[in-house]
């Protein structure tokens, strides 16, 4: 091996070391990005879980009001139906009364 061969191998080894250092830096940067992404994702999931819990609590608290309102509407509908039926019968009775006179 002569001086030129030694220089060639030295240069190649140096380039390989520089490439490895660059690759290591790239991998470190990518790991930082992945870690940041995972932290953000975890925070998002935590927020979603919190919101779901609040929505369940709100739904549970709202349910009695919905049930009461539904019952009130049903009662009002029955009363309205009864009123319409009664008015219909009164109208028929008045009509019959006028027909007999």
Mean pLDDT, to the nearest integer, of 89-97?
91
Confidence class for position 1, pLDDT limits 50, 70, 90: low
Q: How confident is the prediction for the chain on average, in pLDDT?
A: 90
Rounded CA-CA distance 66/73 in Å is: 10
* C-alpha pair distances (Å), 39 with each of 27, 29, 32, 52, 97: 18, 15, 11, 20, 84
Higher pLDDT, 71 or 3: 71
This prediction's pTM: 0.53
64-83 residue pLDDT tens: 999 999 999 999 999 999 99
**pLDDT for position 17:** 75
């Amino acid at each position: 091996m002569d001086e030129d061969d030694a220089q060639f191998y030295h240069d190649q080894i140096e380039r390989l070391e520089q490439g490895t250092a660059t690759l290591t830096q790239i991998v470190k940067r990518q790991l930082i990005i992945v870690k940041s992404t995972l932290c953000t994702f975890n925070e998002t999931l935590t927020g979603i879980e919190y919101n779901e819990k609040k929505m369940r609590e709100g739904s549970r608290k709202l349910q009695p009001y919905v049930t009461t309102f539904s019952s009130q509407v049903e009662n009002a509908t029955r009363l309205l139906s009864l009123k319409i039926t009664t008015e219909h019968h009164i109208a028929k009775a008045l009509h019959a009364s006028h027909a007999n006179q």
